[in-house]
Amino acid sequence: MAGIATSSAAAGGRASTHQGQGSYQFALVALTSLFFIWGFITCLNDILVPHLKSVFQLNYTQSMLIQLCFFGSYFIVSLPAGALVKRISYKWGIVVGLVIAAVGCALFIPAASHRVYALFLGALFVLAAGITILQVAANPYVTVLGPPDTAASRLNLTQAFNSLGTTIAPLLGAMLILSAATVAATNATPEQLDAIRLAEAGAVKFPYLLLAAAFLVLAAVFAALKLPEVEDEETIEPMRGGGSAWQYRHLVLGAVGIFLYVGAEVSVGSFLVNFLSQPDIAQLSEADAAHYVSYFWGGAMIGRFIGSLVMRHVDDGKALAFNAVIAAILLLVTVLSTGHVAMWSVLAIGLFNSIMFPTIFSLALHGLGKYTSQGSSILVLAIVGGAILPVIQGTLADTVGIHLAFLMPILCYAYIAYYGLKGHKPA
């Protein structure tokens, strides 16, 4: 199985040898809570998209600005985040990321009070900046907390709990945000509509206030924790000489893979509520459709738990290519069909999305040695695909219809299949 480091060094660092396996396990448990909460936050955007689309009477392209601001933050913040984490350590990078994320959640309160779309977008940008720092610090930290040959398996396991967060988020989002809005709007007169829109905007206050509190509690916990030390990356030799991580072809191709994967996943997830509401698909209310979105993210959760076991014995690249091909086939079925066939085929994509992000991430970091921190920043920077591709799909949905717009992610999965079969191999 492809690992992420040579036999003589973990991916860019290694937990100090004096630390016991118990320390590794405790650190992984603590890190798993981060994966859960940022999965929850990210998937809650899939509820915000249809909700704010209704509140502000937006078209599909305008509503995708939510994902543009959220994932665009990754592009702007990831490289500075890598430098920050290298300077202050993985642990304190996590603490800083948690505090910034808490500030972003708190900014939803004035955004909802003033009912200004731009303020919502600004709050999402700040929130995502904190999540970006968490990603840069936590992903490589997981890869070095244990044997390098099981790094992909460990990252899949922690990502499985990320998917648990994404599974729960649509259910709570539907209950706290969409349900009340749907009932209110159904019985509204034209004169009451503006007051209803203001109330709908305010529906986000309570859940994001709770999230702000959760982030602050986690920040305090991580500040107090004694986590295993990671050796200075400058002492670890890369698999070959070179001046920066950009010189590694498999890393650059992996960054393209992350860009396309996140773009495809966010594009599909962002349109699920509106897609399932279509008369020729399932004709569900937004609140009911949001419950079905949990099947999409629940499939990813199940797939990652399975992947954390299976990928100890199966080649990472081949597993990645297989899942990408199946996801592309399911999207093609979605486009060519209607009714429950289209509904369940698009929801099933979540199962095959499951292992893609952590597997691409670990394959791309293989052998980078002291450039792993920089490589991690480059990969997190590539998450900007979640900002750009959904806007493209939104434009397609406004022009050719939401159904045909699902053709776009098929091209993304085709590239991911290539990366799994060939592109991940170091030149």
Q: Residue 338 has what DSSP assignment? A: -
Contact by Cβ (8 Å): 71, 384: yes
> In this predicted model, what pLDDT tens digit does every residue of 205-263 receive, in sequence order?
888 999 999 999 999 988 988 776 655 444 455 555 557 889 999 999 999 999 999 99
Closest CA to 207 of 251, 248, 173: 173
Beta pairing partners, 14: none
Give the H/E segment covering residue 184: helix 179-186
The CA distance from 40 to 218, in Å, is: 15
Task: Tell me what pLDDT residue 271 has.
Answer: 94
Q: Which two three-digit tokens encode residue 209?
A: 């206030």
**23: phi then psi, degrees, rounded to nearest 5:** -65, -40
Task: Tell me what pLDDT residue 304 has.
Answer: 80
Query: What is the Cα 304 distance to its own chain's centre?
Result: 14
Report the range of poorest mean pLDDT among 258-272, 285-299, 410-424. Answer: 285-299
> In this predicted model, what pLDDT tens digit does every residue of 291-305 receive, in sequence order?
898 899 889 888 887
Query: What is the Cα 351 distance to its own chain's centre?
Result: 15
Which alpha helices (H) appear in 277-402, and where do they start and end?
286-310, 316-336, 339-353, 356-364, 372-381, 385-400
Residue type, position 207, single letter: P
Residue spans of the domains in the chain: they are: 21-226+241-423
Closest CA to 200 of 221, 225, 164, 176: 176
Task: Tell me what pLDDT residue 197 has.
Answer: 65
Task: Tell me what pLDDT residue 50 has.
Answer: 87
Residues present in the chain in total:
427
DSSP string, 144-159: HSS-GGGHHHHHHHHH
Task: Tell me what pLDDT residue 8 has.
Answer: 28
Whole-number average pLDDT of the chain: 83
The CA distance from 158 to 239, in Å, is: 26
Task: Tell me what pLDDT residue 23 has.
Answer: 55
- From residue 74, give the alpha-carbon distance in Å to each of 47, 136, 262: 20, 10, 12
The CA distance from 150 to 137, in Å, is: 19
State the average pLDDT over residues 4-29: 48
285 burial via Cβ count (<10 Å: 0-12, 13-18, 19+): middle
Query: Helices 179-186 and 286-310 meet at what angle, rounded to 10?
Result: 160
- From residue 31, give the alpha-carbon distance in Å to each of 44, 88, 138, 142, 176: 20, 17, 7, 8, 27
Per-residue pLDDT band at 408 (split at 50, 70, 90)? very high
> In this predicted model, what pLDDT tens digit does every residue of 116-138 receive, in sequence order?
899 999 999 999 999 989 887 88
Fold of the 21-226+241-423 domain: Growth Hormone; Chain: A; (1.20.1250)
SS3 content of the chain, % helix, strand, coil (to 5): 80, 0, 20
Three-state SS string across 253-267, please? HHHHHHHHHHHHHHH
Percent of the chain with pLDDT over 70: 82
The CA distance from 320 to 326, in Å, is: 10
76 burial via Cβ count (<10 Å: 0-12, 13-18, 19+): middle
Task: Tell me what pLDDT residue 222 has.
Answer: 87
State the average pLDDT over residues 174-181: 70
Per the rule left: phi > 0, alpha: psi between -120 and 50, beta: everything else, 226 is beta
Percent of the chain with pLDDT over 90: 43
DSSP string, 66-135: HHHHHHHHHHHHHHHHHHHHHHH-HHHHHHHHHHHHHHHHHTHHHHHHHT-HHHHHHHHHHHHHHHHHHH
Task: Tell me what pLDDT residue 399 has.
Answer: 95
Task: Tell me what pLDDT residue 166 has.
Answer: 83
In this prediction the pTM is 0.78
